[in-house]
């Protein structure tokens, strides 16, 4: 059995900044902080880790668990509107076709491995009708640690019939160096795709097992997955 775990932002879709705008609105509403995300690079981080970073940067203190929950709930209330109104929202090239082909292969399971809160990930994928491809996953709502998120996704795959799943047979697919680091730390196979945060040259420096320019370029990866 093989498992493919997909990052969301910059890998499957770009929301055209909807997530950033939703977090900005949240911090404006709750703490009267404008442009809270201006000093933050969210790429490859979990949502709770991003919220904590904003607290440190802008409020110069830790956030409590209650505050974290309050911020996340407020963010999830404004996110649907930001995603639906985003003029730059798009699905990355070749994604839908790749998911269709991968899903049709025997012994291949597909899930999410993302720093997004689960509800947030579902909102972002809903606009492109991609949620059906991902019956399960690991999320920022499961852990603030990106490699723990991936391990949780793999456990869920085992529960769903992926018994005997080796860690090397888990392919972690993402657009940032942080996705690659997290996958490697979890002992999994790493695939970088240059549709989001970084170009091919920059991603290669992080030494992923595979690099794609985009999913139109993924036939060799599918062969490698089948051979793994």
Q: Transcribe 174-220 into DSSP letters.
A: ESSHHHHHHHHHTT-EEEEETTSSS-HHHHHHT--SEEESSGGG-HH
Neighbours of 41 (CB within 10 A): 12
Q: How far is the CB of 64 from Mg ion (least distance, A)?
A: 28
Query: Which residue, 7 or 47, is less far from Mg ion as judged by CB?
Result: 7
Question: 3, 4, 5, 7: which one contacts Mg ion (CB under 5 A)?
Answer: 7
| 145 is a contact residue toward Mg ion (CB under 5 A) | no
Q: How far is the CB of 22 from Mg ion (least distance, A)?
A: 16
Neighbours of 1 (CB within 10 A): 16
| 82 is a contact residue toward Mg ion (CB under 5 A) | no
Q: How far is the CB of 114 from Mg ion (least distance, A)?
A: 8
Q: Transcribe 216-228 into DSSP letters.
A: GG-HHHHHHHHH-
| 9 is a contact residue toward Mg ion (CB under 5 A) | yes
| 10 is a contact residue toward Mg ion (CB under 5 A) | yes
Distances (CA, A) of 37 to 10, 28, 34: 17, 11, 9
- How many alpha carbons fall within 13 Å on the CB side of residue 106? 0
Query: Which residue, 9 or 82, is less far from Mg ion as judged by CB?
Result: 9
Q: Helix count (H) and strand count (E) of the chain? A: 9, 8
Q: How far is the CB of 10 from Mg ion (least distance, A)?
A: 4
Residue partners of 37: CB distance under 8 A and separation at least 6: 20, 23, 24, 54
Q: How far is the CB of 5 from Mg ion (least distance, A)?
A: 12
Please give the residues from 163 up to 222 whose contact with Mg ion meets the rule CB under 5 A.
175
| 120 is a contact residue toward Mg ion (CB under 5 A) | no
Query: Which residue, 33 or 179, is less far from Mg ion as judged by CB?
Result: 179
Question: What is the binding site for Mg ion (CB under 5 A)?
Answer: 7, 9-10, 175
């Amino acid at each position: 059995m093989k498992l493919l775990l997909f990052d969301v932002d910059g890998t499957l879709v770009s929301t055209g900044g909807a997530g950033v705008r939703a977090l900005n609105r949240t911090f404006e509403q709750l703490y009267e902080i404008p442009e809270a995300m201006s000093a933050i690079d969210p790429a490859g981080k979990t949502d709770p880790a991003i919220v904590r970073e904003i607290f440190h940067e802008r409020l110069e203190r830790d956030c409590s668990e209650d505050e974290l929950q309050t911020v996340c709930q407020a963010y999830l209330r404004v996110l649907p509107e930001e995603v639906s109104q985003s003029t730059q929202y798009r699905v990355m090239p070749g994604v839908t076709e790749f998911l269709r082909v991968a899903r049709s292969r025997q012994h291949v399971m597909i899930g999410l491995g993302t720093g997004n809160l689960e509800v947030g990930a579902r909102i972002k994928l809903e606009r492109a009708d991609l949620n059906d491809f991902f019956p399960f996953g690991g999320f920022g709502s499961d852990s603030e640690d990106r490699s723990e998120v991936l391990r949780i996704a793999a456990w869920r795959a085992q529960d769903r019939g992926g018994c005997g799943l080796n860690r090397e047979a888990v392919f972690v697919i993402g657009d940032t160096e942080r996705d690659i680091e997290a996958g490697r730390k979890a002992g999994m196979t790493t695939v970088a795709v240059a549709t989001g945060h970084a170009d091919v040259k920059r991603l290669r420096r992080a030494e992923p097992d595979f690099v794609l320019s985009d999913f139109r370029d993924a036939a060799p990866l599918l062969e490698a997955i089948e051979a793994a």
